Amino acid sequence: MAAWLTALERLARSRAKAGLTRELRPRPADDDVVDLAGNDYLGLARHPEVVAAAATALSAYGLGATGSRLVRGSTEAHAELESDLAGWLGAEQALVYSSGYLANLGAVRALADKHTLVVSDAYNHASLIDGCKMSGAETVVAPHGDSAAVAAVLDAAPGRPALVVTESVFSVDGDLAPLAALHEVTSARGALLLVDDAHALGVLGPQGAGGVAAAGLSGAPDVVVTATLSKSLGGAGGLIAGPRQIVRHLVDTGRTFIYDTALPPAVAAGAHAALRIAREAGDRRALLAARAEQTVRRLGAAGFAVRRPAGAVLSVTAPGPEAALAWAADCRDRGIAVGCFRPPSTPDGSSRLRLTLSAGVSDVDFARALDVIVECAP
């Protein structure tokens, strides 16, 4: 065996010993597992109107976009989706990407360069972390959710171009960033605030417009929002929303936009239908809030330390990576899918089960899922 393959085998054995091996588990279309692992918060991925819109666009446009957005990949489906996304978020303009990961890379790279000071929350998603690295900017990692620490970093570099990067609802533990306080810090010092609203869009704010809207920051000229179409909207893709100047800059210079094949039109049309439903889905958001309370009560009564989540994602600490794997596997064997988060996916090095709540799960199945999680605990 070639030396480099031997080295990879050695690394794989080390990961296996540490309980950090990952596996692909293809699921059938008729999978009957109760899903508390996926991100279909509002239960729209299979909504008849969403599926019908996607099917109509699939018939009209074909399977793919056939090119990047600046070549042949921009369609009326993309333009209509972007217009309604901007209106929903209260932004001047929005730009759709083929994934949320690429949107985050593109946003950070557009707003930061080697002259910029970036302040990044310690619990930020990997896509934001990678964007900071790729930008070439000096990046300071601030303690999680600490606006005073962010202010101190900015005050130590007065007059320097600065960007503060955070999620709204954090993807591992489901807590909410102090967005209003962070904006007070950034606006007073002339810095920009970039917020990844992926786990709040559709769940928080007026008409589900997200954490930025909930904090009263919609349309602020010094706030840029990113999000995905793959969570509450049940589709795929990402977005960046903000002042028209940022969208113009991204179209002209953004490498993750210019050189990437566009989101398939059928997916854009399906996400657009989901957006229209999500805006009026107050009943589904109320159900998510009630289930968050139910989860905290049930797991708390069983002795688990679980915090009330800001949105629809929460975590339960496991003794270690192998215990987390076994816990998730036991739940899966009993028909319940839960997330299993281990290093390096967890910012503090602790392993967890992550539960994502969905309005698409029945009351009976949801209650049974909580019972199984408790019964399978290590």
Do 207 and 89 share a structural domain?
yes
What is the pLDDT at residue 248?
97
Give all strands (DSSP E) within 149-237, no chain letters. Answer: 162-167, 192-196, 223-228
When divided into structural domains, the chain yields a total of 2
How much is the pLDDT for 17?
A: 86
Rounded to whole angstroms, the Cα distance separating 296 from 284 reads 19
Q: Is residue 5 part of a domain?
A: no
Q: Which of 3-7, 177-181, 281-285 has the lowest mean pLDDT?
A: 3-7
pLDDT for the residue 232 = 98
The reported pLDDT for the residue numbered 68 is 98
Going by pLDDT thresholds of 50, 70 and 90, the confidence category of residue 346 is confident
The whole-number pLDDT of residue 343 equals 81
Q: Does the pLDDT value for residue 364 go beyond 90?
A: yes
Q: What is the pTM of this model?
A: 0.94
CATH number at residue 311: 3.90.1150.10
Same domain? For 37 and 112 the reply is no
Answer with the one of 262, 279, 296 that is the final residue of a domain. Answer: 279
- Residues 159 and 252 placed together within one structural domain of the fold: yes
201 and 119, same structural domain? yes
Domain-embedded: residue 56: yes
Sequence-separated (6 or more) residues with CB below 8 Å from residue 71? none
Same domain, 267 and 307: no
Q: Which helix (H) or strand (E) holds 152?
A: helix 147-155
Which residues are registered as beta bridge partners of 195? 166, 225
Same domain, yes or no: 288 and 187:
no
Question: Do both 127 and 250 map to the same domain?
Answer: yes
Categorize the per-residue pLDDT at 326 as very low, low, confident or very high, splitting at 50, 70 and 90: very high
Q: Is 208 within a domain?
A: yes
Please enumerate in sequence order all residues whose Cβ is within 8 A of that of 357, keeping only pairs 6 or more positions apart, or say none.
36, 41, 288, 291, 292, 295, 312, 313, 314, 366
CA of residue 203 relative to chain centroid, distance: 12
pLDDT for the residue numbered 321: 87
Is residue 11 one of the residues assigned to a domain? no
User: Residue 1 domain-assigned?
Assistant: no
Model confidence at 344: pLDDT above 90: no
Interval 2-51: pLDDT, tens: 899 999 999 999 988 887 888 888 888 888 999 999 999 999 999 999 99
| Full residue range of the structural domain in which residue 363 is found | 32-44+282-375
Write the CATH number for 221. 3.40.640.10
Q: Cα separation of 247 and 241, whole Å?
A: 8
What pLDDT is recorded for position 139?
98
Q: What is the mean pLDDT of the chain?
A: 95
* Residue 39, phi then psi, degrees to nearest 5: -115, 25
| Structure token digits, residue 370 | 């909580």
pLDDT of residue 20: 80
> Do residues 241 and 17 touch, judged by C-beta distance below 8 A?
no
pLDDT on residue 328: 94
- Confidence bin at 350 (pLDDT 50/70/90): confident
Sign of the four-CA dihedral 315, 319, 321, 322: negative
Give the model's confidence band at 370: pLDDT under 50 very low, under 70 low, under 90 confident, else very high.
very high
Which pLDDT band holds residue 132 (cuts at 50, 70, 90)? very high
Residue 209 in any domain: the answer is: yes
User: Could you tell me if 93 and 175 lie in one domain?
Assistant: yes
Average pLDDT value for residue range 328-349: 88
Residues 208, 82 share a domain = yes
pLDDT for res 273: 98
222 and 311 belong to one structural domain: no
pLDDT at site 342: 82
Q: Are residues 84 and 222 located together in one domain of the fold?
A: yes
The average pLDDT across 101-119 equals: 97
- Across the range 69-89, mean pLDDT stands at 98
pLDDT at 48: 98
Instruction: Check: CB of residue 96 under 8 Å from CB of residue 229.
Output: yes
Percent of the chain whose predicted confidence (pLDDT) is above 70: 99
Last residue of a domain, which of 279, 300, 331? 279
Q: What is the pLDDT of residue 341?
A: 84
Confidence of residue 62 (pLDDT cuts 50, 70, 90): very high
Single out the residue in 234, 257, 279 at which a domain terminates: 279
φ/ψ of residue 34, rounded to 5: -75, 120
Q: How far apart are CA 23 and CA 43, in angstroms?
A: 25
Q: Is the pLDDT of residue 104 over 90?
A: yes
Task: For residues 65 and 195, state if they share a domain.
Answer: yes
pLDDT for res 173: 85
Over the stretch 195-218, which tens digit does the pLDDT of each residue have?
A: 999 999 999 999 999 999 999 999
The answer to whether position 27 is within a domain reads: no
3-state secondary structure of 123: coil
Domain membership of residue 354 (yes or no) is yes
Between CA 338 and CA 80 the distance in angstroms is: 35
Containing 336, the helix (H) or strand (E) segment is strand 336-341
pLDDT at position 53 is 98
